[in-house]
Amino acid sequence: MKTNNLLIEFGAEELPAKVLPKMIHAFKDEMASELAKANLSYKNIESFATPRRLALRIIDLVEKQPDTQQDRKGPAIKAAYDANGEPTKACLGFANSVNANVKDLQEKDGYLFYTLDCPGKTVTELLPAMINTAMNRLPVPKRMRWGDYNVEFLRPLHWLVLLYGKEVIPANILGLTSDNKTYGHRFHHPEAIKLKNADDYEYALNKAKVVPSFDKRREAIHQQITEAAKSANGVAVIDPDLLDEVTGLVEWPLAIKADFSPRFLEVPAESLISAMEQHQKSFALLDNNQNLLPAFITISNIESKNPERVKHGNERVMRARLSDAEFFYQTDLKTPIAEHINGLSKVIFQKSLGSLLDKTKRIEIIMDNLAKQFKVDTSLAKRAAELSKTDLLSNMVGEFPELQGIMGYYYAKHAGELLDVAIALKEQYLPRFANDSLPETTLGSLLAIADRIDTIVGIFGINQAPTGEKDPFGLRRAALGILRIMINNQLDIDLADLIDCAVNAYQDKIINPETKTQALDFILERLRRFFAEQNIDADIFNAVFARKPTSPLDFANRVKAIQNFKMLPDAEALAAANKRVSRILQKETLDTDNLINTNLLKEAAEKQLSDLLQAKQAVVMPLFKAHDYQQALTELAELRPAIDQFFDNVLVMDEDESIKNNRLNLLYQLRELFLEVADISLLQ
């Protein structure tokens, strides 16, 4: 069947840079869905997005749907013909409805049938409605109207290109009439560009100073920044989110390296970088020792005839921004950080859970508990908790919220607080996102855990747990942060005890009686994602999860042990044996307090298993106590021959009730020994 390339382009006023990647991905996915439903085949879909356009090019799209056949069911044969074999009104009516002669009707299963030939529709017929549906389904944060139009979109739309090869497909979508005219750079090439065919798109726009591909433009910007930094003997700080945003702001990127006064370097580098990134969408430069250089790189959307003027203009604006950061910093230094403690009472943490001062006092209680457990100086723990939220009242954090904790570190050092406390203030918010670095100190780790567990318990305590995709308090992220810190930093903390401590710290503010259970289950369930990201098989996780160990570090040690056990030659047979034992025990009621009566052991195989079981218990119990699960399972794997002999030669369900119960107790003790680590019967 004939194919051609299809170009769809919507021209718009400046689209918000932060939503541009999401918009074009959604447009591509929606069109792919529409094409699949219409049974229109194609090779692939290319996407293009700039501040002034959303476009797709669908490669090798067939010109029409395939022809199909459809069976139409008519009346029953008994009702289709009279006693003389003549067609009845029902028969004639059916024939007429399918535009066929009676003699062409077919009989099948006691009914009349007719097979209709259904020619496929062309893309010209189908596309306008498909595109309209796709555009209306885009995840637009807030739609708007413009002019006298009765249509809505994220920003006003100004032109529509709809080209199938060289042919313009007639359509009216979102108030626009399709054409083959696009537009280049707003300043470099404001005139209309007439496209000869869909394949001309990128070439024509490149000549008109537009790089339509978001990915190619992003790559070009990254390369320009890197080269500009190298020429300045530095390395650029390139935040991926900022790079995406800048890519969404320009159509013809040009990197410009500019400078600022070295005097600003007395301000913490993080503050200056935030000012550059948040206010000026610029990229900071570091030297080989990771020290901030008095320079930055900005991305222009125009090729100026006087680039020095553009550079100086950016430097002038940057000077004002950095002066603000300098002012905030110097003003904050005039007030020792500890003087903000009482001011926390005026800032609401959550209306039902009190102020930030209330939260601080709860963190103190949790920190005191954790400090004693890990033999950390309780006075340091108390001071870190007291100061943990004070920098939220600083001017700098008020302007740049992402600097919380970081500015606390600088202000605490300046105020003469102990370095361990200052570092803990900085580390309490780590990790901020997936794969972010973790706290490096024990005090910082404990403060990060205390802060997060207080939030989780409090929100569950007032019945505002996350539902579906909604998680306004970031509890899922907080739970994963707790787990990463405990496991990676080797902190053996019992979550049940920790939650108890947090609940007690809230006193009467907790109104949900199921808070402890729900909070614990919520955090443990996050372990599923934690281990999935490490490519741990689901059956390994389920085997450990069945035992619900409440220490994440202990949970991780068990997972590692099961992972190793699964590689042993006897693992599969032992898992199968545990399944068999589990099924047998589920059907029986036995007194598990009864010891095995050696006098009732009649068969050689059960005597051997009993003797080996007792011997292994003596060996593995100290290993369990030391959490050396890997070695314990290796020891238990040696029971495999004796277990096989038992099931081959011993009838568990003996007619003698006492012998049967004795054998069931033997199996119970065997299973309990494996359950000290995990339920290996769940292994696949």
Give the span between the Cα atoms of 475 and 522, in whole angstroms.
9
pLDDT at 422: 97
Residues in the chain with pLDDT values less than 70:
588-594
Whether 83 contacts 37, CB under 8 Å: no
Using alpha carbons, list the distances in angstroms from residue 122 to 2, 63, 166.
Answer: 11, 6, 16
Provide Rg for the chain, Cα atoms. 36
Going by C-alpha positions, the residue among 279, 251, 307 that lies closest to residue 12 is 251
How far is the C-alpha of 459 from the C-alpha of 350, rounded, in Å? 9
Within its chain, how far is the Cα of 491 from the centroid?
Answer: 25
Give pTM, 2 decimals: 0.83
Q: For the sheet containing 292-300, what is the strand order?
A: 235-236, 283-286, 292-300, 254-259
Measured between alpha carbons, how far is 204 from 271 in angstroms, rounded to an integer?
A: 43
Q: Count the neighbouring beta carbons within 10 Å of the beta carbon of residue 367.
A: 28
- For residues 624 and 673, is the Cβ–Cβ distance under 8 A? no
Helices and strands, counts by H and E, the chain? 26, 18
The Cα–Cα gap between 268 and 274 comes to: 10
How far, in Å, CA of 290 to CA of 236, rounded? 10
How far apart (Å, rounded) are the C-alpha atoms in residues 439 and 428?
A: 7
Greatest Cα pair distance in the chain: 112
CA distance linking residue 595 with residue 310, whole number of Å: 88
Beta-carbon contacts of 336 under 8 Å, excluding residues fewer than 6 positions away, are 411, 415
pLDDT tens, position by position, 651-673: 878 778 788 888 888 888 888 88
Q: List the one residue out of 161, 159, 151 whose CA is nearest residue 176.
A: 159
Q: Which two tokens stand for residue 171?
A: 């359509």
List the one residue out of 402, 407, 401, 375 whose CA is nearest residue 388: 407
Residue 580: closest CA among 455, 667, 638, 657: 667
Q: What share of the chain is helix, strand, coil (3-state, %, to 5)?
A: 55, 15, 30
Q: List, in order, residues 6 or more apart from 475 with CB less than 8 Å away.
A: 455, 456, 459, 465, 466, 522
Cβ(60)–Cβ(81) below 8 Å = no
Q: Which two tokens stand for residue 379?
A: 């006075």
472 cis-preceded (ω within 30 degrees of 0):
no
DSSP annotation string for 140-160? -SS-B--TT----BSS-EEEE
Domains along the sequence of the chain with CATH = 3-65+122-207 (3.30.70.260), 71-117 (no CATH), 215-333 (no CATH), 340-535 (1.10.3210), 559-682 (1.10.730.10)
The span from the CA of 33 to the CA of 306, in Å, is 48
Residue 534 DSSP SS3: coil
Determine the Cα–Cα distance for residues 576 and 597; give it in Å rounded to an integer. 26
Report the 10 Å Cβ neighbour count for 440.
11
In angstroms, the first-to-last Cα distance of the chain is: 48
| Alpha-carbon distance values, 396 to 27, 391, 399, 404, 406 (Å) | 39, 8, 5, 9, 10
346 within 8 A of 355, measured Cβ to Cβ: yes
DSSP sequence for 265-285? GGS-HHHHHHIIIIIH--EEE
Residue in the block written with tokens 């005139």: 191
